[in-house]
Every structure is written in C-alpha cells, then in structure tokens.
Structure 1
C-alpha cells in the first residue's frame, strides 16, 4: 500500500512541469524576490515538516491501536485510572515542540526585523482610504536632487519602483484607518496604524514586476488598495524618479484624512488637486 502511494506520488511529480514542482516545494509560497524572504521561507517549510512528522506519528499510533486491539467480543477491556508516564509525556512533549518552534521563530524574526543604520533607499509609504502614496526621499541623491512622490487612487493603481540589490527602508503611516503593507513575493508585511510609525526593510534581489496589496480589511474599498512593485536596475530606478520630477510631483504626499472615497481628489501638501 505504502509502495503504491509512493509510486503514484512519483508519477504525479514527473508529470508536472519544473515550475509546478518548485511551487510544491515552497508549499504555497510565491517565488521569493527579496534577500529576507528565504529566512521566512525556511521557517515556513520547517514548521510544516515538524507538523507533518508529529501528524504522521500520531496517525500511526491511532492506526496501531485500532489494528492491535481489534476484537470480536464485546467484553469491556480493563480500565486504568491513569498512566503517569504517559500523562507526563503528553504534558511535556507539546511544550518541547512549542519551545523549538518559538526558538526558530525568534531567530527568523531577529533577521527580518534587523535595521541598517544607513539604508540605500528610504521611502515613506502612506496607506490611506483607499490607495497608496509613495514618497521617495531622494533629495540627497545628486542624480535626482529632490524628494518626489507617486499617488494612486481607486481608479489608478500606483506603481512602486525599487532598485535591485539595494536595502530599502519603508516608513509606514496612515492618516485614517488601519492598513497593512504587503508584497507577497517579499514574504513580509507590516501593519499601518494611525498615530504610530512603523517600518520595514527589504532588499529586493530579483528584477521583475510584483503585486502589492493591503492585508487589512480597512473599509468599503479595501479591494482597491493594490499597487504594482517594479524591481529594476539602479539606472532605471533613477530614470523613473526623474520622470516624477518632470511631472512636477515634487515634495511629499502624506495622504488626507478627508480624501474622497471615490479617489477623485487628493491633497498634496495642503493643496487639493485632481487625481493623477
């Protein structure tokens, strides 16, 4: 029976493409696109291995008991009031499992929350009802010379550009309700809570376009809080910031507590303008 199951699984995997096999190995995670992602990916896989091992062991015990003590008579077996060694084992074992998982979780947490003193890029991200504002702190970059911004609306999904292999610090804030900054390919997300400053550091290491979204049910148009993440070369990143300068999107866009729910107007530094 076991041999048949293993053979069937092997045949199933050989019929899959390499991409599907890789996806199965990640156990549902998307393909990683940041230097921090493998840390979380390894924790995810390790947790499933631990859970699967414990599950197989317990299923095996249940199956063994069912087969070993199957009887055709209806006599009640001898009853024991307690089994001290077994009760100690069932009490201690869960704490051992929890302790091991907690230890590796703390190790992963320390790595992904580590902050560098001088990140290569700093971007202030504002989650507002119901889109995103991205403020590139590029005034110190001689090639750009000014801080620039990009703002999205319900009708226009904003783009977030990041340079590959550069450490990016996102300073997160919200002028209205709770949001959550999430790029699935980075394997991390951070909550954005009004009145509190939060941040996250990511080093994107794979050029491409990825989807970002709000992972917090934030209100009526939560489904519109999407954004596109473009991981590009350093040259293309600088060129993009220059296009924002050329468009006059200079300074900061910190969102507005009274933003139009339909996204038809936003407020930039106190001046109301049409949606861009």
Structure 2
C-alpha cells in the first residue's frame, strides 16, 4: 500500500507538471500581440485522441495496481499463527487472544481497557496475525496508522476479518477508533505493543497464569502502561470536567 501510494503521488505530480507546462507554454506562446485574430482550428483529431486516451490509460493502470494491492491486503489464510478478537464498545477496547478462529473458538487471555488505563494489544513480530472484529453497540473502526490500514467494526453478527502477514519492527504504536461513534470517540485509543515472538509467548503465559496486563508486561521487560497515548479527563471520572484541560492534557496524542 505504501509503494502504491508513493507511485500514485509521483504519477499525479508528473501529470500535473505536464499540464502546468502546457498551460504556461500557451500563455507565453499565444499571448496577444496585436489586433489580428489567430488562426482558428475547428478540429484537431490527434489532440482529441490524446486527451481522451491518456486519462483512460492512467485510470486503467491505477485501477489494475489498486486491485492487485487490495487483493493482497484482504487475503486471509487457513491457519494464522495468532488470532485476536477485537471487541469495540463505547468508548474503549477489549482484545481477546483466541485458540482458534470464529465464534466457537475459546479466549485464552484478554486485555480490557478502562477510563483510567489505556488497553495494550501485545503482538509478536514475524508471525501471521488474524484480527476478528465485533462491536457491542455502534460502528467503530480499528486503526493503527503505522499499519496503513483500518477496518470498521460492526455490531450484531457481522465479524470483520483481516490479517497481517507479519509485523516487522518492535515498538509501541498508537491505535485509534477511526469512526465517529459518540461523545467520547476522541478518547477511544489503544496501543499496539510489538515484541519478539519469545517475549510474546512469555506475555501470553503470564496472562494465562492470572497476571494483569501490567504485571505480564513488566515480566517480559516492557513498560507496563501505554507510551504513545494517555487517558483523557472525562465526565466519567471527574466531577469538575474542563474541556480545555482535556485538550491540553493530550487531545492530539
């Protein structure tokens, strides 16, 4: 997707430079030099052919590569290494680590966000990951900007599914809800924490042993709380809510 985006921008810039050049050339070449009327041309078949066929070719090429990239992005496999159920609700997230696919699979560990603690989704590098999304109330959207992809989360019996072939770089990445879902939509953040496969296995084992998410993160040498975003002051957790305080405390994080 990144390569397609860059290539599309380069192509658009090339077309833009060409058109701008023609405009300025016409401005200079055919500027008024007197009262004599220039030669009038009723038809110019080569030119008409050019400005009809060229856009069709450009759109066709973009359509082809878009279809190829989209097919790869939405492709799923039969046996992904990790399956995570993403449960969205007003206005937070729950991440369930599953032992299989579909509604009949069992949850072996879970991370639940609260107004005071940003939920942290821990995933490994170099493993295929399947996301199964569902909502408890309205439409939300699961979005990690660094993944260059987001997908809506629907309520009811609809389970949106997509996969990531592998996460390449360890680190902490902010996640957001990208669909306007109500009063506290702007506060509905989470963090994706990408760790090594060995650390991920230890984290999951700690969660299975009953440790909290913060305790399990500490056990593998990770920061226990989110590093890319922070909880917002809301009317849910303070009687003296001031919108200016919410903005200054990190509304842009």
Q: Same fold (TM over 0.5)?
A: yes
Map 1:1-276 → 2, pairs under 5 A = 40-138=1-99, 147-195=108-156, 196-202=158-164, 203-247=166-210, 262=236
CA–CA separation in structure 2 for the residues paired with 1:117 and 1:74: 76
**How far apart, CA to CA, are the structure 1 residues paired with 2:237 and 2:163?**
29
Local SS of the residue matching 1:147: strand
Native 8 Å contact 2:83 2:100 kept in 1: no
Mark the runs of 5 or more structure 2 residues left unpaired by the alignment.
213-234, 239-253
Q: Secondary structure at the match of 1:77?
A: coil
Shift, 1:238, TM fit: 2.0
| Alpha-carbon distance, 1:204 to partner | 0.7
Q: Is the 8 A contact 1:150 1:244 kept in 2?
A: no
In structure 2, the residue corresponding to 1:171 is in which secondary structure? strand
**Deviating more after overlay: 189-198 vs 124-133:** 189-198
Structure with more relative contact order (C-alpha pairs < 8 Å, separation 6 or more):
1
In 2, the alpha carbon distance for the partners of 1:107 and 1:146 equals 34
Superposed displacement of residue 241, structure 1? 2.0
Q: CA deviation at 1:90?
A: 1.6
Aligned to 1:34: none
CA offsets, 1:69-97, max 9 Å, x none?
A: 12332444343344333223222221111
CA contact (8 A) 2:136 2:155 kept: yes
Q: Is the 8 A contact 2:134 2:159 kept in 1?
A: yes
**TM-score, scaled to structure 2:** 0.76
Counterpart-to-counterpart distance in 2, 1:233 and 1:86: 58
Aligned residue pair count: 210
**Contact 1:153/1:263 (<8 A) preserved:** no
Secondary structure, counterpart of 2:190 in structure 1: strand
- How much has 1:198 moved relative to structure 2? 0.7
Aligned residue for 1:119, secondary structure, equals coil
CA distance in 1, matches of 2:17, 2:187: 42
1:126, distance to aligned residue in structure 2 (A): 1.0
Asked if the contact 1:139–1:147 (Cα under 8 Å) also holds between the matched residues in 2, the reply is no
Q: State the Cα distance separating 1:263 from its structure 2 match.
A: 8.5
RMSD across aligned positions (CA)? 2.4
C-alpha change, 1:263 and 1:146, in structure 2 (3 Å) is farther
